[in-house]
Chains A and B, each alone.
Chain A
Amino acid sequence: MDNLNWLVKEIEKLKRNSPYPSARSLIMPALWIVEKHFPEILPEHMEVIAKILGVKPVEVEEIARFYAMFHTKKKGKYVVRVCTNLSCMLNGGESILQAICDHFGVKPGETTKDGLFTIEEAECMGLCNGAPAMTVNETRFTNLTPQKAIAVLEEFKRKENGKDNPQER
């Protein structure tokens, strides 16, 4: 409930400082707040957004479930998006995805058991000049090889394990 109150305040703030003429335009930024601060976007979050922005809850859910970057199912602390679109695919994107999945023992779309990584197959992220590319949350990694990609993720894991509570968000 505390978290919901926090969200209410954040979205009200968003609405107050809106650069857009219509509150509808704020659905995406509002969802992004939830995406960044919660493990998943829940119906109660969407209801909060709908209420404050004066739209119907289904309009928020439609958007949350349309875009792959919004998670309505529980995600790991880091969302790893491996591009397999044209440029990346030609440069070995698919084998990077395969290697990562094998390494962590998950399938694309799944989360590692320790809750750290959600591995996803992504469409073009505009990083074609550095293909093959992947992102970990909002950090970009380009010109990858399977080994490099795994090393990047292992580094994240090592840093996390140094902390007391890796689940804390």
Chain B
Amino acid sequence: MESFTIIIDGKECEAFPGETVLKVAERNGIVIPTFCYHKELRPEGACRVCLVEVEGAPRLVTACTLKAIPNMVVRTNTPRVRKARATIIRMILNNHALECKDCDKSGECELQMTGFRHASKDIKYKEEIRKKRILIEGKLIAINTDRCILCRRCIRMCGENMGNRVLGIMERGYKAYISPFNGNFEESGCEHCGSCIDVCPVGSLLDRTFKHKGRPWKLEKTWTTCTLCGSGCYMEVDTCEGEIKRVMGRIGVNHGENKGYLCVNGKWGWDIVYSKYRLKKPMLKRGSGLEEISFEEAMKVIEDKLKVGNFEVFVDSSLTCEEIDLIADKFRTKNVISDAFNYQRFLEKVEETLNICSLKEAFDSDVFVVVGDFLEESNPVTATLLRLKVIQEHKRIIRVGEFPSKLDSISYKVFIDDMEKTLTSESLNKLLHGKRFSLIVGGTIYDLIKSEKIAEIVAETFKGASIHPIPPESNSYYVAKKFRIKSKFNSSVSIYFVNSNEKFALSEGGEFKILFTPFYDDFASRADLIIPTDTFLEKEGKIHPPSTTKKPLKSAVKTEISLKVFLQKLPVFSQKLEPTPSSLIIPESTDTLVVISKHAKGMMSTYSNHVASVSGRNKTLEFSINGTKKKILFVEKFDGKVVEILKSSYPYREIGNG
């Protein structure tokens, strides 16, 4: 694009067509105060604090909405501008609660900062403050309306960027306030992504779990990666005296792939660290009960057991690369099973003829063929990022699935039909003709009975194209690359490394079951030896998405318990027995799909009280698609029943009408 020059405060600045004066100023180190402007949001010009003087224009203009044009001369710091700014800030402060001393935002509040810098020092209030005294309290989010400056960032974030439009403005004039429909977040379809809180410049939208829990300037910040799903979001974990107080995404500042967007699990699921289910000591089955033993004793039991029998390991695909390497190193066996089984099979099929690329590389194309359903449940932030590509960069999504999706409303073209049919259809082919496109595959696709068939079709139809297979778990790709995964156990001793116990409950192990897990629950009680491990927030390490760069984990809280340390102390166990080739019988497709919601994923709705407070009940949904009836079992929480259902169809997630 051809650039041109504009003059801001006497400085020649390079500008590109379509850019706003504010953007150009920002890049050139010229500070213009803002409130309603946010890098990630569509500019709206609601607060008017960014007023600047433009030569030839009679009135002051808002820099955040003003498009730069060649030879424009802009002044940001004249007495006239300064006075206007100060007046705007004064008017905002006039009806602001000014209760910084007990506001959670104090210390990182944009009104404080901009006020200090740009308001006049001797503000005289001519009118009495008008208080609304409306406090809206959801399970995890609160709105203190007297602190709101009506910048509408939250509305644009929730409505446009997240596509939820939970929030709106009620009443008008000085009575106007922000609220979800009927004052109720839960009933308004709030997904508790926390994005509205993240962009609120003041202490109006609040994280309730952080209320009066700490002052921002006292918090220690640790940047780490969420491994609760394959999106692998980069996030800031704030601790005070060794305890987690909150998690922030920092939208607009965060340089991670997720740009600061999080889902409820990343934003609020940190309380799993303090879950009542956390294990502290190893436990050994004696008689009908379990008995606490020491780590040394546990190590002995493992040594005894593995000396005699042959063994197998289950490797959870949300462990870190370091842990996985250690497992492979210490337990030398080809008998590896993992929840990455289905992913691996898909990957291997498409790898033959397509280019596996990172999400970033896939995003370079102009058109994305998004194949699969319920991405918003399996990888919530990846679904958000796709949405943003459309609304911010005007790229195109062609969605190929069998169920409706939230992405449909922003997709260029939606195919809801048998995926095999769509993928080979003439109409899809025509749409892609001459376009720079990439395939982005994910969601429930890997767990379908026809998954391999779809992979074959993709491999055949799109030879040579780039594909990003979205990993369902944070380290699915690494596990899939590292091991030859089998579908079933058949040795006498089985060793499970899991981060959530449904994975243990789902696959049938041998006579003696050793379980490495952070949590003790009903499912864990089926093990013979249980050894506590650390959660992702306590770990150091890396995860490896389909990309050349790995993502780092930094421990935000210290713990005595460490899977890595335990593994390092273990001797090497090897077994010569070759695994019996897995004989996976592929059943017929059924009409009921089990969808694991983001709340149920990793059993978050069990281990995290925060997540549990906003998750719903398991339900069956019926769809009629092109004349055929389809059903969904939507799982919000794992219980014995769900595990039984899934076990009967393992490793698939389709169930018959039984």
Contact = CB atoms under 8 A, between A and B. Distances in A.
Partners in one complex: yes
Interface of A: 43, 46, 56-59, 61-62, 65-66
A58 B171 contact: no
A61 B182 contact: yes
B181 A61 contact: yes
Interface stretch (B111-119, B160-168, B524-532): B160-168
The bracket for how many chain B residues form the interface is 10 to 19
A104 B561 CA distance: 75
B429 interface: no
Given A46-B181, A58-B188, A65 B166 contact: no
B178 to A, nearest CB: 10
A14 B179 CA distance: 28
B169 A62 contact: yes
Interface of B: 159, 164-172, 179-182, 188-189
SS of B interface (majority): mixed
Nearest to B165: A56
Contact of A56 (B166, B170, B171, B172): B166
A59 B188 CA distance: 11
Contact of A57 (B170, B171, B172, B182): B182
A66 B172 CA distance: 6
Contacts of B170: 61-62, 65-66
Contacts of A57: 181-182, 188
A58 B164 CA distance: 10
A65 B168 CA distance: 11
B180 A58 contact: yes
Which of A43, A46, A58, A66: most chain B Cβ within 10 A? A58
23 contacts: A43-B181, A46-B181, A46-B182, A56-B159, A56-B165, A56-B166, A57-B181, A57-B188, A58-B165, A58-B166, A58-B167, A58-B168, A58-B181, A58-B188, A59-B165, A61-B168, A61-B181, A61-B182, A62-B168, A62-B169, A66-B169, A66-B170, A66-B171
Nearest to A72: B170
A109 to B, nearest CB: 13
Contacts of A65: 170-171
B200 to A, nearest CB: 17
A12 B182 CA distance: 23
A61 B182 CA distance: 8
A60 to B, nearest CB: 8
A58 B180 CA distance: 6
B185 to A, nearest CB: 11
A71 to B, nearest CB: 13
Q: Which 5 A-B pairs have the closest CB atoms?
A: A58-B168, A58-B181, A62-B168, A57-B181, A56-B165
Contacts of A62: 168-170
Contacts of B168: 58-59, 61-62
A4 to B, nearest CB: 16
Contacts of A66: 169-172
A56 B158 CA distance: 12
Nearest to B172: A66
Nearest to B166: A58
A7 B574 CA distance: 72
A23 to B, nearest CB: 13
A56 B188 CA distance: 8
A61 B171 CA distance: 10
Given A46-B182, A57-B188, A58-B180, 11 more contacts: A43-B182, A56-B165, A58-B165, A58-B179, A58-B188, A59-B165, A61-B170, A61-B181, A62-B168, A66-B169, A66-B170
A160 to B, nearest CB: 32
A56 B189 contact: yes
Nearest to A54: B409
A43 B184 CA distance: 11
B154 to A, nearest CB: 12
A62 B180 CA distance: 10
A61 B181 CA distance: 7
A61 to B, nearest CB: 5
A62 B169 CA distance: 6
B150 to A, nearest CB: 13
A163 B411 CA distance: 57
A45 to B, nearest CB: 11
Contacts of B180: 58
A59 B166 CA distance: 9
Contacts of A61: 168, 170, 181-182
Which of A43, A46, A56, A65: most chain B Cβ within 10 A? A56
Contacts of A56: 159, 164-166, 181, 188-189
A59 B165 CA distance: 8
A135 to B, nearest CB: 21
B173 to A, nearest CB: 10
Nearest to B173: A66
A56 B171 CA distance: 17
A62 B188 CA distance: 13
